[in-house]
Amino acid sequence: MPMHSRDKKILVTGAGGFIAHHLTSRLKKEGHWVRGADIKLPEYAPSSADEFLKIDLRDRENCAAAVEGMDEVYHLAADMGGIGYISQSHAEITLNNTRMDVGMIEAAHRASVQRFLYSSSACVYPSHLQHEPDVVPLREEDAFPAAPEEGYGLEKLYTEKLCEYFTQDYGFETRVVRFHNVYGPLGTYDGGREKAPAAIARKVARARDGDEIEIWGDGLQTRSFMYIDDCVEGLVRLMRSDYALPLNLGTDELVTIDELVDIVSAAAGKRLVKRHDLSRPQGVRGRNSDNTRLREVLGWEPKIDLRTGIVPTYRWIDKQLGGAGAHHAPLAAVAAPR
């Protein structure tokens, strides 16, 4: 069956993971032919991709195979996780992501891909701008002078510049997005790589009404959280825009971690007691997205507030745990945010 003129052949890397899985579904609904690529298959639901390559993108030959025949590439594959993982795995994360990112952009350029989108992170921002819970929202230009988070943040910032160099030197069309804490159904919620909303939802689901749960840090550290549907919408809009510089993608709804726990508990209909562990990794004290440029460039910004988005997220995690909220399960630590 011939493709319509608007249809494209699109590669989504990291398609075995959370954001890329949802993005694949969106692109398929729009009528595109989609190839997924990842070292693993999706854990919670089958991929909707037309073709799924289970390959290791740290290998340059695999990068070349993945981009062959593609019009666009959304490069979302990354070795990453919550603060407990990224603060203790600098060498592994930096090596793995460097090999993937350099291999992918080089292969995409050689294959004459029309556009290449790179997924970066708010971890590129200097920590000295994030010392207070009542943080000033981070603007894209605040990434320099550079002082990113060690390991993960440093590698992301380096690859942002690599995208810029490929555009300047070769005329290669690149797009760079800086994610700010994404959550929603089908996201990792256990095992050490989960982010704060999913980890807290897991702990709340396992707790009985009136139980105690442990929070990493004093609970006053702040973040903004973006629901997956808004994330996917932003990715598609950015790819189709003419904007080539890094762009924040997140909400500017700043909440404390204690407030996040209260919102999840309300979604579960439970009253829980917080116990704070100050010995655990906490990340920066405050992080929020300045969406001024996002609104200017895309004429849009994320719309789904945390209280709305946490409901389907919590219900999905509770279902994965077998409705464990009705039972008493051993409580483990709630992960801190990135």
For the chain, domains (ranges, CATH) are 9-181+227-249 (3.40.50.720), 184-224+253-326 (3.90.25.10)
Residue 327 has pLDDT above 60, yes or no: no
* Mean pLDDT of the region 194-216: 95
In single-letter form, the type of residue at position 222 comes to: T
Tens of pLDDT, residue by residue over 92-145, are 999 999 999 999 999 999 999 999 999 999 999 999 999 999 999 999 999 999
Residue 330 has pLDDT above 70, yes or no: no
Residue 338 has pLDDT above 50, yes or no: no
Residue 337 has pLDDT above 80, yes or no: no
Percent of the chain with pLDDT over 90: 87
Residue 91 has what pLDDT? 96
- Whether 219 and 108 have beta carbons less than 8 Å apart is answered as no
Tens of pLDDT, residue by residue over 166-188, are 999 999 999 999 999 999 999 99
How far is residue 283's CA from residue 285's CA, in Å, rounded to a whole number? 7
Tracing tokens 């973006």 back to the chain, one arrives at 226
- Helices 228-240 & 18-29 angle (0-180, nearest 10): 60
The mean of the pLDDT values for the chain is: 93
Active-site entry in 74, 152, 189, 314: 152
331 confidence band (pLDDT: 50, 70, 90): very low
- Whether 257 and 221 have beta carbons less than 8 Å apart is answered as yes
191 confidence band (pLDDT: 50, 70, 90): confident
Residue 270 has pLDDT above 60, yes or no: yes
How far is residue 175's CA from residue 282's CA, in Å, rounded to a whole number? 30
Q: 256 vs 221, 253, 274, 319, CA distance in Å?
A: 5, 10, 13, 26
Q: If DSSP codes are grouped into helix, strand and coil, which group holds residue 259?
A: helix
In single-letter form, the type of residue at position 61 comes to: E
Q: Active site includes 74?
A: no
Residue 334 has pLDDT above 80, yes or no: no
Tracing tokens 């409901």 back to the chain, one arrives at 311
* Mean pLDDT of the region 37-48: 96
Based on C-alpha coordinates, what's the Rg of the chain? Answer: 19
Q: What's the pTM value of the predicted model, to 2 decimals?
A: 0.92
Residue 336 has what pLDDT? 39
Identify the sign of the CA torsion 178, 181, 186, 190.
Answer: positive
